[in-house]
Chains A and B, each alone.
Chain A
Amino acid sequence: MEVVLNINGKDLALQIEPGDILINTLRNNGYFGPKRACDTGDCGACTILLDGMPVNSCLIFTASAVGKKIETVESLGTVTNPHPLQKKFVEEGAVQCGYCIPGMLMSAKALLDKNNNPTEDEVKAALSGHLCRCTGYVKQIKAVISAAEELRGDK
């Protein structure tokens, strides 16, 4: 079946199977930000934003996402012009192997879009769907709070 998906602000006409899962469609079409890890909705590595809400793209049928706004980590920033979240994750040393980070950044973005002055508990709650097996979570929490400060213009 032919569908049009809105990915990172661009409409993309794609040929898909009716039973296709979104993470596969995204990765097969060059969006390598969402990572496949557990494939069961437990780890959060495949997180994208669907109409602004963080969700596991391994649990969504591609055809269900038609008419919705899909955002992957590719929409955040570039190497030369990173989003404050990406910048702070690097500065705080919150990234080691990096596999969980694209998902975590999307959840953090969804939080900061709603609330630009989150408490530590709010950051913890927002990131609670993500498993990181390298760093622990302290630096990532710090990075989100620090990015929020930058976005507010406090720093």
Chain B
Amino acid sequence: MRGIKQFAKPTSLEYALKMLHMHQGDALILAGGTHLALQKQTKYSFLIDIKELGFNYIKEEGDNIKIGATTRPVDIINSDLLKEFAGGILVEAASKIGSVLTRNLVTVGGNVYSMFPWSNLPSALLVLDASVELRSIDESRIVKLQELLQGNPRKFVEKNELITSIIIPKSSKNLKTSYKVFSLTENDYDIAILAVGLSMESSICKGARIALGAAISPCDLLPEVEKILENQELSSGLIEKVANKAIENISLIKDFRTTDQHRIDVVKILIKRALEEIRV
């Protein structure tokens, strides 16, 4: 990448934040690098590699599960804690990222911050009601992931701030989940991503969280669709109704690979498949 004049690999958070503070507006954060490495030129002159800050962890902390910002998809896939958590939706989402090679590089923080339409983790994290921890030299704040995504992470995260972890409430543990993606070929970017989490009492859905990604951007929850499911028996009739509602006011992003109608059909089918999977 042309333009970079200095490279730093701090080993403590304090030092990294100090550096970021000193060079704010002129520093790029390097985590997995799978996006940055593709850029041929940059206006930034300082590159701060944050992979040695000790943020590669998945742990329980009080009422939450905390995932460090530089945790990789491969770590999520191999995590016994996450395999059991909410039907393993995060493991499923992580296993859809890129290829087996890029899953050894990508980081959770980068996946959330870069927020490409096809990023796989944000939709699953939305369903789990995740929050994001941000640190700067003089402040620490925790914001809802949805707020971060809607505010565009590149603007929402201040120039001297670092995403340090993703926080998932343990109350999401018993959600019945399903995670579906559709792409034209196995290694193409996804055209639609759908994450569903239902809290079920026998066949009655007490609450629902449904997140759609790739077809819309940023990925987001569908509250009007979720409402239809609340306190209802998950019947095939209801599933049809939910799928129709989901595509009612959908504002698709531009995508030259396929037609709008095709993507609408795909979203509808993914919702049906996801809900049917939970019903069975």
Contact = CB atoms under 8 A, between A and B. Distances in A.
Interface in A6-51: 17-19, 21, 39-42, 44, 47, 50
Closest 9 CB pairs of A and B: A19-B4, A129-B99, A18-B7, A19-B1, A129-B101, A63-B7, A129-B100, A59-B37, A18-B4
Interface residues of B, number: 28
Contacts of B4: 17-19
B99 A44 contact: yes
B222 interface: no
Interface in B170-212: 187
Contact of A41 (B9, B47, B74, B101): B101
A94 interface: no
Contacts of A53: 74, 104
Nearest to B35: A59
A61 B49 contact: yes
Interface in A97-125: 107, 125
A5 interface: no
Contact of B101 (A21, A47, A64): A47
A147 interface: no
A126 B37 contact: no
Nearest to A103: B101
A54 interface: yes
Contact of B102 (A18, A41, A126): A41
B102 A21 contact: no
Contact of B1 (A21, A56, A126): A21
